[in-house]
Structure formats: C-alpha cells, structure tokens
Structure 1
Amino acid sequence: MNMRVSRFGSALFLLLAFALPLSACGGNNADKTISGSNGDASPKAVKVTFLNSKSEIQQQMTEAAKEFTKANPGIEVDVISASEGQSPVERASSLYAAGTPATMAMLDAGDIAKFADKALDLSGEKWVGELAQPNELNGKTIAFPFAVEGYGLIYNQKVLDQAVGGTFDPATIRTTDALDDLFKKIEASGLAPITVGSMDWSLGNHYLALAYANQPAGVEKYLETLKSGEAKLSDNPVFNGLMDTFDVMKKYNKGKKDPLAVVLEQTAADVAKGEAAMTFNGNWLITEMQKTSPDGDFAFLPVPVSNNAGDHANESLAIGATKQVFIDKTQSTPEQQDAAKKFLDWLVFDPTGQDIMVNKFNIIPAFKNNTKELSNPLAKSLKAYNNAGKSIPFAGNYVPGDHWKVLGASMQKYLVDKVDRTALAKEVESYWTSVK
C-alpha cells in the first residue's frame, strides 16, 4: 500500500485502543567483529550509535544502552543527541554529510520518508508481528515506532482540588470561558494558574498544530489548502478559537514578565511543586516532574478550542505514534545492522527492555506484547482518554522538519506580543505556501 509522506505514523493514531492492555554513529570506519581463520582470535565489540531525539530521556537511554551491553557483551551502543537548536532531521542530515551517520536514528514520524533511501527494510523483523497497527511506508516497514504519546494541559490535582474546594473534575472544563473561570479560582486561591513554556518545539509542533488537528476536513486535506494558499487562518474558527485559549493562557502565565525565559525544566518544577496549577506539554514531561515530586498526582486536561461544550476537540487529547527509529543501510556494516536489530528486539522482547520502555522512558510502547503496568500518572491519564475515544490526531506527525523552528519562533513572537494574531496568521500561511 502506498502511503503519502504525511500519512507515515498516522496508521498508529488509534494504537492504544488496539494495543491495550498496554499499561498503557555508525560510519564505515567503525569496528566490526573480527575472528581468526581458526577461531582463536578474540572478537572485537561491534560498536553502533543511536541518535536520540528525545532529550528528556537522554540519561535513561544511555543507561538502557549499558543494560543492553550487559546482556549482549559483544555490542556497544553509543547514544548521541541532537545538538542545541537542531531539529532531529537536521542532526541526522549533518551526520550523513560528515560521512558518519548514526547506525540507528530516531526522528519525528513525518521525517522518516526523507531517509527512505537510506533506511534498512525491517519488514521481516519479529517485532513487526507485535505491532498493534501496521507501520508501513510504500508497503514496507522501514522504521521502528518508538513511542505512543499525547499532550494537552497538564495539571496538579492537589492544587486544583484546593482551588475548587473539592475534587476537581476535568470534564467540567469544556470551553475557553470555563478555563478562564477556573484560572480565576486558582488565582484567588493564591497560586499561579499556569506556567507557559516558551520552547519553540512545544509552541510550534504541538500547540499550533492543534489548529490543523481539529479542522473538519481533516489534517491532510487542510494542510493541502494551506500549501495552495487557499486557506485563510484569520477567518478560520478553529485557529481563532485556539488562539483565544492561548490569550487566556498568556493572561494568567506565571512567567508573563519574561515569557521567553520559561524553559521546560521550570514548567515541570512549577507544576510538580504546586507553584502553578498547570502547564501545556506532553506525557514525556513526567520524567522531569518526578525529579521534584516522584509521587505527585498529575493528569491531563484537553485544550479547548471554542466555547461550544459539545466540540469533540474540547474533550480530547492529541495522541499518536511519534518518534520512529530507522537503521542505516548505506554506511553501516552488516555486523552493525545486525547489532542494531538486536537492540530493537531487546526493547520489544526482553523483560528488562520492556520495563525500561514503560518505567524509565515513561512512554506507551507500540507493541501488543508489552503488558508492563503503567507506573506514571500522565501515561495513565493518556490511556484513559484514548480508551474513551477522546483523541484527535497528533498533527506534528504531518508537518515538515523545520515547522517547529520556523513557526515555533512565530508563536514565540506572539507569546511576547511582538506580533498580533493577524500577523501570526500571515506568517503561518507564508510558511505553508513555501513548502515544496
């Protein structure tokens, strides 16, 4: 089956509904296994590299690589990261340009197709049979779906219970006006209603992408109208509703005196400590939050995009298979390719690897056989929304690799009032009409 580029990864959009009960650089100069003709020489370790684009689990990924090597002494896995300011696709491209591509590269789902000619065909791998949904491009499985993730407003249950004078029920917030009223109650209780992170990837590929995810025509068709110049965001109800909510978030932002200084770590700490009731982010934030509050009670609240309480978007989280890993076939040796396959197998089939995926990486695996119990509250919350059918597309899977940087910067300008909504809409439209 031929899939369009923007469709890659979207086949796993409803993955959890099928997968549950889920709880939820190698180059041509790298070492390879060598043995003498009589078998009396000691084999050298096969060295492979793993480009990790989930910076929040860099330490955990490095530790996982060490655990894998303990179980597979003949293989060394070196975990490298994307450089500051580089998108995953830029980092992968620069490694190829230098002649030292990663043996395994983790990219955003929408970028895998750019490397299709460099990716090893993984269709025959055992783990393909454990996928809850197919993960194909042009009839082949060329990437390993690393995680099912979702995002929305993350809140501290204790803080909201205090603000409403009882047990806070997220189902009571189904409009932008209701969110505004809730923020007033939180402020009256003496706490900050929200901390808004300034990260370009969060504002661009996550928040702004909600405007694409909630279009009646669907993500792909709407993006086509943006590319053609037909769509006009200034007149679009979903875009305007989403930005109305963002204006409310800006109004009550704990960091509004210096919005661009608010980084991911601060958003996590503010909510974990109870200094702010909520922030906008995804289930991956739990790793950072639990550094401050390992036993905190956190959950998701959908981002309302209108004052119509019946809108599906107002009760749904963006959920999808996000990060994908491909194995290089152009400069990695057969030994390195085999070693990379073993590493991916280990994550899927080995009990230690399975546990690391769920309880160290804090992700929801894309594989039916991993029944490890979810241990963190954000993953549990995400699972509950998905099981209830309250999900919308993870539209960041459909956008080009530079979307987060270009339009994330536009959103940052809006955050600090350097552009108004009309100017923001024009910047978004200009970006899409330039996409080839």
Structure 2
Amino acid sequence: MKKFIGVVLGLVLVGSMFMQSAQAQITLMQNKPEIDAQLKEYAATWEKASGMKATIKSCGGGACDLGQQLRADYSAGDMPDIFVIAGLEDYKEWSNIILDLSAEKWAAETDVAFKVDGKVFGFPVAIEGWGMAYNADMLKKAGIDPATLVNLAGYKAAFEKLDSMKAELGINSVVSMAASSEMKWVTAHHNFNSLLSNGLPYGDLSVVNSMLAGTVDEKRLAEYAEWVDLLFKYSDKAVLTTGNYDTQVGAFATQKAVFLHQGNWTDPNIKAANATFEMAFAPHGSMEQATDGIFVAAPSYYVINSESKNIDAAKQFLNDLVFTEAGNDYIVNKAGMIPAFKNITLQPTGPLSKSVQAYAAAGKVYSWNQYYFSTDFRDQTLGPIYNQLANGQIDKAKFIELMKAAIATLKK
C-alpha cells in the first residue's frame, strides 16, 4: 500500500512539474524585423539559462501591420504574452489588458519607461534616433561642410552640388529615400515628425495640439512640403517608389547614395554590408530657420498581457534583458541598440548610434510626436499622400492641399 501511495505521489509530482514546465513559456510579438534574428538567438540563450521557452514573432517594417496582427490574435484567443506598443494611441487601444509594471526592478533603472498617470506600463526597447545620415567621406570629397546641413538652404546647396558630381562620386542618387506603400513608416511616421517637432523644445506639443484640433501653421507646412519635395527630387526613383528597407539601406551602405533617411537601427545592416566609411547624422532641413538637433526617444515599449497565463515568466524575460550579461550583450552588441537603462554599462559601437548618443549628450534632441496620431491616420490617410508625390501623381502644391485636408479631418 505504501509503495502504491509512493507511486501515486510520484506521478502527481511529475505531473505537477510537467504542468509548470508547460506553463513556463512565453510568446513575444515585436515590430523590428531588422533584429528578428538577434532576438531569436537571445531567446534560445535565455531558454537554456531559465528553463523556460520564449517564442519570438516579428511583425513590422511595412511587410506586416502589427496593429492588425494583434487584433487578429486577440480575436483568435492567441494574444502574445509580451507585445509592443509605440505610444499613447496604442496604449489606449490595449489598456484593458496591459499590466501595471511599476513594481518591476527594471523600472527604477530607466527614465524613459512608458507611463500613464504616474504608473509604469511599458518597458523601453531602446533609445533610438534619426536625422539625415551622411557619408562623411563623400561630403569631404565634394567640399561640403556637414555643419551647413541645418536648414533648407544648406541642404539645397549641398544636394545640387552632389548631384552635379554623381559620375565623379560613383553614386546613383544624392539621397536614399523610400516612399512606397510598404515604407509608409519612413514617410508618414518618421518624416512626418519633422513637421510636428523640428526646432521645438523637447516635449513641446503646440504643433501636435493645433493639428489635432484640425489646423496647421501654413508657413511651417509650406516649408515642410519644400523639404519633402527636395528629398524626393534627389532620390533614386526606383528606390523611392518601389524600394523596401533593404534596398534603401543598401544603397547607402554600398555608397550609391550620400544621404540616408533612416535611424541608428540601421547600424547592424550597414555593418553586415562591410561599410567602412565615416558616417554621422545631420539635422533635418525641414525649415528655413536653422535647427541643430535630431529626433531621439524610446521607439517602442514591451508591455505584458494581463490576461496571460505566463506573467511571471514574462516579467523574468524583461528583467533578464536588463540584469544579465547575456541580456545586456544582446541589446548592445548583438542588436546594436542604445540601452535605455542606467545600469547597463556597455556602449554601442555602431557609428550612427554613437552619433545619436553625441546629440543626446549635448541636449540637441527633438521629440517623437508622430504617435499622438492614430496608426490609421498615419498609414491610411497620410501614407498615400506621400506616395502620390513620390510617383509624380501630384505636385508640391497639391501635397500641401491634401495634407491640410487630412489634418482638417482631425477636428472633433
């Protein structure tokens, strides 16, 4: 009898351990396909160290709409344990299932967590920035001082000179820019932010609030339209209208374009292309007045699904990114990101990430304000307007007209 009871207890214990093991697994949905391989590699490392499984799913970069995918997953009862939000509008959509993470250890190590009413809900994936990345070697060869790249006049002069030297420099275009329907995150997210925050104090929402009320400063919009038109004019038309992320970044990395309209997240891609030329960021030239900063912030945040059956494992995954050597190595060395946590002492080696850090250290930074507008407004309303201008279907005047009409629809 004792032997029978022992066997039963043993089976119960094994069954309990199996159930715990079965529960100790998480799914993370993230929006940066450029770090998909690195994150999956880290997940495998974490699995060996923790004994828990982490499945990584990537949806973003234009090929996959994260918002649509999350809605489909939620409807199917297959919501990930950890997923990404970009800002306030995303938080509003999912607030009923986003867990309060204020008590987590990592929250005390960052100044850029996503907060609502003083409570921490989002784990900052990294610190990122973008401006106009430039090939310093080519600018030097052309006799162009990067310090002049601070306004419309400076960029017009530089673009004209470089365009006249295309054969000598061996380039296909002055700028590598993408405005296809797949790349609306470059135009209607990142470039759009030039209109929203360039030249304003960090956190200034005056332009945002005016636009959300349906109005826009016409002088500011006209100068911004001049900037967009200038970028498109000096871009390779094939890359501009049909190119994807790899095509756009590749043109710069292989020195077929002098400028790249992207951010420091391209460091790993540029390194993989064996690019060795000197590079850095210059401010956007979307205004007549000179500006001296670039756009820097936490790009997105990991949040935990409060309905998950694996909350403890999800919490550990995030904490281990911050407090383990493997987690730190993944963030900085493998993914090439700038860490958002004060305890992480590793520094990125990528040249564009170093440039972002230099601007941030000097306080020469402007806000990311695009996420005060809904994804649908950016992607479905604004994206096609940029695409039409890129394809020559409308001119600059019509671009301004359509932008004003789109902004007018925001008035409540």
Q: TM-score, normalised by structure 2?
A: 0.87
> Are positions 1:224 and 2:209 aligned together?
yes
Aligned pairs for 1:36-75 (under 5 A) are: 37-38=12-13, 42-43=17-18, 44-45=21-22, 46-73=24-51, 75=52
> Are positions 1:372 and 2:356 aligned together?
no
Q: CA deviation at 1:216?
A: 5.7
Q: What's the secondary structure of 1:78's corresponding residue?
A: strand
Q: What's the secondary structure of 2:119's corresponding residue?
A: coil
Pick aligned residue for 1:102 from 60, 80, 96: 80
> Are positions 1:293 and 2:274 aligned together?
yes
Pick aligned residue for 2:294 from 302, 305, 317: 317
Read off the aligned partner of 1:401 and give its amino acid letter.
Answer: T
State the match for 1:408 in structure 2.
383
State the match for 1:174 in structure 2.
150
Read off the aligned partner of 1:342 and give its amino acid letter.
Answer: Q
CA contact (8 A) 2:102 2:120 kept: yes
Q: TM-score, normalised by structure 1?
A: 0.82
Pick aligned residue for 2:329 from 355, 378, 383: 355
Give the 3 Å change call, closer, same or farther, for CA 215–307 of structure 1 in structure 2.
Answer: closer
Q: What's the secondary structure of 2:102's corresponding residue?
A: coil
Read off the aligned partner of 2:121 and give its amino acid letter.
Answer: I
Q: CA deviation at 1:257?
A: 5.4
Q: CA deviation at 1:70?
A: 1.6
User: Which portions of structure 1, spanning 4 or more consecutive aligned residues, are displaced by more than 6 angstroms?
Assistant: none
> Are positions 1:259 and 2:240 aligned together?
yes
CA contact (8 A) 1:109 1:321 kept: no
Q: CA deviation at 1:225?
A: 2.4
Q: What's the secondary structure of 2:38's corresponding residue?
A: helix
Instruction: Give the aligned length.
Output: 387
When structure 1 is superposed on structure 2, of 181-190 and 125-134 the one drifting more is 181-190
Q: CA deviation at 1:85?
A: 4.9
CA contact (8 A) 1:149 1:364 kept: yes
Q: Matched residues in 1 for 2:321 and 2:346: separation?
A: 12
Q: Matched residues in 2 for 1:56 and 1:69: separation?
A: 22
Q: Matched residues in 2 for 1:91 and 1:368: separation?
A: 33
State the match for 1:87 in structure 2.
65
**Which of these two proteins has the greater Rg computed from alpha carbons?**
2
Give the 3 Å change call, closer, same or farther, for CA 48–219 of structure 1 in structure 2.
Answer: same
Render the CA deviation track for 1:239-296: whole Å, top value 9, x for unaligned: 222221222222221x225731122212211111111111111111222222212544
Q: Which runs of no fewer than 5 residues in structure 2 stay unpaired?
A: 1-9
Q: Matched residues in 2 for 1:203 and 1:103: separation?
A: 31
CA contact (8 A) 2:152 2:285 kept: yes
> Are positions 1:387 and 2:361 aligned together?
yes
CA contact (8 A) 2:216 2:407 kept: no
Percent identity among equivalent residues? 25
Give the 3 Å change call, closer, same or farther, for CA 70–137 of structure 1 in structure 2.
Answer: same
Give the 3 Å change call, closer, same or farther, for CA 169–352 of structure 1 in structure 2.
Answer: farther
CA contact (8 A) 1:123 1:142 kept: yes
Give the 3 Å change call, closer, same or farther, for CA 371–341 of structure 1 in structure 2.
Answer: same
When structure 1 is superposed on structure 2, of 210-219 and 149-158 the one drifting more is 210-219
Q: Matched residues in 2 for 1:427 and 1:369: separation?
A: 47
Q: Which has the higher helix share?
A: 2
Render the CA deviation track for 1:112-146: whole Å, top value 9, x for unaligned: 23211101111110001111355311231111111
Read off the aligned partner of 1:222 and give its amino acid letter.
Answer: V
Give the 3 Å change call, closer, same or farther, for CA 219–203 of structure 1 in structure 2.
Answer: farther
State the match for 2:311 in structure 1.
337
Q: What's the secondary structure of 2:27's corresponding residue?
A: strand
Read off the aligned partner of 1:65 and give its amino acid letter.
Answer: A
Q: What's the secondary structure of 1:209's corresponding residue?
A: helix
Q: What's the secondary structure of 2:128's corresponding residue?
A: strand
Q: Which runs of no fewer than 5 residues in structure 1 stay unpaired?
A: 1-34
State the match for 1:112 in structure 2.
91
Q: Matched residues in 2 for 1:212 and 1:394: separation?
A: 8
> Are positions 1:196 and 2:155 aligned together?
no
Read off the aligned partner of 2:245 and give its amino acid letter.
Answer: L
Render the CA deviation track for 1:206-255: whole Å, top value 9, x for unaligned: 101210113769753333322332x245x2x22222221222222221x2
Q: CA deviation at 1:39?
A: 5.7
State the match for 1:77 in structure 2.
54
When structure 1 is superposed on structure 2, of 421-430 and 320-329 the one drifting more is 421-430
Q: What's the secondary structure of 1:136's corresponding residue?
A: strand
CA contact (8 A) 1:348 1:367 kept: yes
Q: What's the secondary structure of 1:141's corresponding residue?
A: strand
Pick aligned residue for 1:241 from 213, 220, 223: 223
